[in-house]
Amino acid sequence: MRFIRRTVKIILLLLLIALLTVVYFIAYPSLPAYKPAEKLHYLGQWSDRDRQFYYYTPQGTRVKGLQYAWFPALEQPFGKSKFAAPEYLARFGFLIQPGQKATPLNPGNLPVGFARHQDDESGVQYLDITCSACHTGELRYKGQAVRIDGGAALHSLASTVPTIKGGSFGQSLGMSMAFTYYNPLKFRRFAHEVLSEDYERDYDTLRVEFKAVLDRLLSTAYNDWHRGLYPTEEGFGRTDAFGRIANTTFGDSIDAANYRVADAPVSYPHLWDIWKFDWVQWNGSAMQPMARNVGEALGVGATLHLLDDTGQAVPEDQRYASSVRISDLYELEETLKRLRPPAWPEQVFGKVDIGLASQGRALFNENCAHCHSPKVVPPAQRVAPERDPEWHMRIIPTEIVGTDATTADNIADHRFDISKLGWKKAELAKLDVKLFSNSLDKIDFSAVSTAEALAYVTAYVEERAYRDNGITAEQRRRMDGYGLPIGVQEVRGYKARPLDAIWATPPFLHNGSVPSLFHLLSPISERPARFWVGNFEFDPQHVGFVSEKFSGGFLFDTRIKGNSNRGHEFRDGCRNNGVIGRGLQPEERWALVEYLKVLGNPRLEKRLRDMPGKPWNPGQLCQGSVTANHKDSDDV
């Protein structure tokens, strides 16, 4: 009888492995090839010490509870090759250094942004995906690599659903763990590497803990798939950040009825000068630096236990405890204040045509500066008196700029039932939250907006973290960022940020729907409706990624909801339907592109010559057009 049971068990195990193999090849991660760069260039944006601190300082996130020691020990589904081999992870778009080796800050020899943190109670070290994973870029040209610190990542990170044509880290990690768990030979090798001399003692415990993490990964994948939560594929370099944060916080943690379709992926914004902005996020919805960073950590996987197993709010002394590392978030924010915009590397990408760039400056002042030049706030009018300088961000309504409105609309329209949390308005009034588009007395806890609900959740998490870490009121004021409250505004629009070193952040528009600056300055009819993403190869003439088809790439289709490349258009005719300026001749576009290589680079800017230009004007206003009714879209 024992022999029969063992035989049946082996047969079932083989059938399961066969099923996993079929699933793996159906969803086989078609990844771009990786070829090491001949040389990696840094652009003097900050010190080596600041760079390493930024790359590997944890923020308190957890990949479904994946322990740091497990990750380097995992194998790819077939064979013994390591899943965490730098050359393999680089194929997902993560950044490595040629010939990199393990260091005290990076003992697992992992890519940029893969950090670790230790749980204070258990002592377990968890894999921590930190902010640099998504906010560090790289450009390749003729075998040379140029690192863009604080730039936009080009990886495929978030999705666990097996439909990403270019391969996804999340789905591939899940498959690697599944093959490891259900293949006894793989799991024994894995356990020996993780446990070493404690193999016999801790094998069974490891297997139980490993299965719990695998189940969470697979459960998330199934939940995302069968609910159809992310129908617009993100591909490389994008994620629906607000949608995923909301689904995690309000769907996973409170009530499944709160899941909302998130079909508005956005590119990862670049971070230089961001500390000067009065409003951040693509839609200008957030004010306080700490709240922005805590919200980002929660969205990437920091733990937050809101309800108990019966669906009731946890006891008051346990509420809002999280794995967010409040002091590390503050130090990362302070480090980013020292980050300078990258300077166009003429030794790699070629010399700037100073004469053409001089013409471009005149055209920029005529057509672009009104929205995109920093509006420096006088000291007496600053939101944060201590911030110097402070730049006011113009939020341009989607009906004027005309770019894909899905992101802004989803944030404005989605509502969530958080009544299970048992919030009382009298208690919320004591929190340091300031609503600019609503009032607390009008909030309905059964239908609260994304930004407002996140503001109050974040406020409670901050309160708890500061208290648990013994942070004084004066320290908190500094760590929050200039003593700012958690400010929230909800506008159907996008901020027109300054364009210093914008050349380093392709593809363009908030959803990454335009591959190059030259295309962005062209009419929609001349922008590609479909192009390929995931290739780090840079085109220094058009200023963008090379977007022709390549093996393992992701086909970006602008006809899909959330992917539109319309708006922000320069075209002759009425200023409506996203037409924001006159048509630019090709030679004018080339001049503007050349100037945008220079903007924010004092060394090159001082070489420009003064050229005659026309003052900005709103152009031809047509009767009844949106722009005619908003003669100045400066403040909304």
Q: What is the pLDDT of residues 350-365, one digit of tens each?
A: 999 999 999 999 999 9
Residue with tokens 């100045």: 632
Distance of alpha carbon 572 from alpha carbon 579, whole angstroms? 8
pLDDT of res. 558: 98
SS3 content of the chain, % helix, strand, coil (to 5): 40, 15, 45
User: Could you tell me the pLDDT band of residue 612, with boundaries at 50, 70 and 90?
Assistant: confident
SS3 199: helix
Determine, yes or no, domain membership for 516: yes
Query: Exposed, middle or buried: residue 112 (CB in 10 Å: 0-12, 13-18, 19+)?
Result: buried
Picking from 613, 604, 527, 517, the residue whose alpha carbon sits closest to that of residue 563 is: 527
User: pLDDT-derived band of residue 411, with 50, 70 and 90 as boundaries?
Assistant: very high
Residue 528 confidence (pLDDT): 98
- Give the pLDDT of residue 96: 94
Residue 60 lies in a domain: no
Domain around 566: 354-380+498-606
In a domain, 576, yes or no: yes
In terms of phi and psi (left: phi > 0; alpha: psi -120 to 50; beta: otherwise), the region of 273 is left
Band (pLDDT 50/70/90 cuts) for residue 389 is very high
This prediction's pTM: 0.93
Q: Taking residues 183-192, what's their average pLDDT? A: 97
In the block, which residue shows the tokens 């069974």? 204
Residue 626 has pLDDT above 80, yes or no: no
| Residue 634 to residue 393: CA distance in whole angstroms | 9
Confidence bin at 615 (pLDDT 50/70/90): low
pLDDT confidence bin for 125, thresholds 50/70/90:
very high
Confidence of residue 230 (pLDDT cuts 50, 70, 90): very high
Inside any domain, residue 509 = yes
Reported as a pLDDT band with limits 50, 70 and 90, residue 99 is confident
- Mean pLDDT in the chain? 91
CA torsion 271-276-282-283 (nearest 10°) is 170
Give the tens place of pLDDT for each residue, 204-213: 999 999 999 9
Give the per-residue pLDDT at 100.
82
Examine residue 543 and state whether it is found in any structural domain, yes or no.
yes
Tens-digit pLDDT profile for residues 462-481: 999 999 999 999 999 999 99
Q: Across residues 125-136, what is the average pLDDT?
A: 97
Instruction: Quote the percentage of the chain above a pLDDT of 70.
Output: 90
Helix or strand or coil: residue 406? helix
- CA dihedral defined by 558, 561, 562, 567, rounded to 10 degrees? 60
pLDDT band at 588 (very low <50, low <70, confident <90, very high): very high
pLDDT of 164: 43
Q: How confident is the model at residue 161 (pLDDT cuts 50, 70, 90)?
A: low
How many structural domains does the chain have? 1
Provide mean pLDDT across the span 140-147. Answer: 97
Residue 365 lies in a domain: yes
What is the predicted pLDDT for the residue at 589? 98
For residue 587, the model assigns a pLDDT of 97
Asked, for residue 564, whether it belongs to a domain, the answer is yes
- Supply the pLDDT for residue 461: 96
Dihedral, CA of residue 554, residue 560, residue 561 and residue 566, to nearest 10: 100
Whole-angstrom CA distances from 58 to 128, 133, 170 are 6, 11, 19
| Nearest alpha-carbon partner for 267 in 520, 82, 603, 584 | 520
Mean pLDDT of 276-284: 95
Distance of alpha carbon 81 from alpha carbon 316, whole angstroms: 48
Task: Evaluate whether residue 371 is within a structural domain.
Answer: yes
Supply the angle between the helices 199-226 and 184-195 in degrees, to the nearest 10.
Answer: 120
Out of 48-57, 214-223, 452-461, 623-632, which region has the weakest mean confidence (pLDDT)?
Answer: 623-632
Residue 601 CA neighbour count, 13 Å, CB half: 24
Work out the average pLDDT over 78-98: 94
529-557: per-residue pLDDT in tens? 999 999 999 999 999 999 999 999 999 99
Rounded CA separation 168/574 (Å): 43
Instruction: Provide the terminal-to-terminal Cα distance of the chain, rounded to the nearest Å.
Output: 77
pLDDT higher than 50, residue 185: yes
Give pLDDT, residue 307: 86
Q: How confident is the model over 45-79, as pLDDT tens digits?
A: 999 999 999 999 999 999 999 999 999 999 999 99
Distances (CA, A) of 455 to 66, 95, 285, 412: 28, 32, 10, 14
C-beta of residue 179 within 8 angstroms of C-beta of residue 186: yes
**Residue partners of 30: CB distance under 8 A and separation at least 6:** 165, 166, 167, 551, 552
Q: Would you say residue 613 has pLDDT above 90?
A: no
Number of other residues whose CB lies within 10 A of the CB of residue 483: 16
Q: Which of 166, 155, 167 is nearest to 554 (CA)?
A: 166
β partners of residue 376: 391
- Residue 28 clears pLDDT 70, i.e. is over it: no
Asked if residue 495 has pLDDT above 80, the reply is yes
Task: Report pLDDT for 633.
Answer: 45
Q: In the predicted model, is pLDDT for residue 628 greater than 50?
A: no
In angstroms, the Cα distances linking 130 to 53, 82, 316, 542 are: 11, 22, 29, 32
Name the strand (E) or helix (H) holding 496. strand 493-496
pLDDT band for 310, please (50, 70, 90 cuts): confident
Report which of 137, 166, 132 is spatially closest to residue 234, judged by C-alpha positions.
Answer: 166
Region of poorest pLDDT, from 317-326, 428-437, 582-591:
317-326
Q: Find the mean pLDDT for residues 384-402.
A: 96
Burial class (CB in 10 A: 0-12, 13-18, 19+), 261: middle
Q: How far is CA 332 from CA 326, 462, 545, in A?
A: 10, 16, 29
- The whole-angstrom separation of Cα 601 and Cα 326 is 33
Q: Is 314 exposed, middle or buried (0-12, 13-18, 19+ CB in 10 A)?
A: middle
Euclidean distance between CA atoms 397 and 456, whole angstroms: 26
If residue 136 lies in a helix (H) or strand (E), which one and from where to where?
Answer: strand 136-141
Q: Taking residues 297-324, what's their average pLDDT?
A: 86
Q: Are 291 and 462 in contact (CB under 8 A)?
A: yes
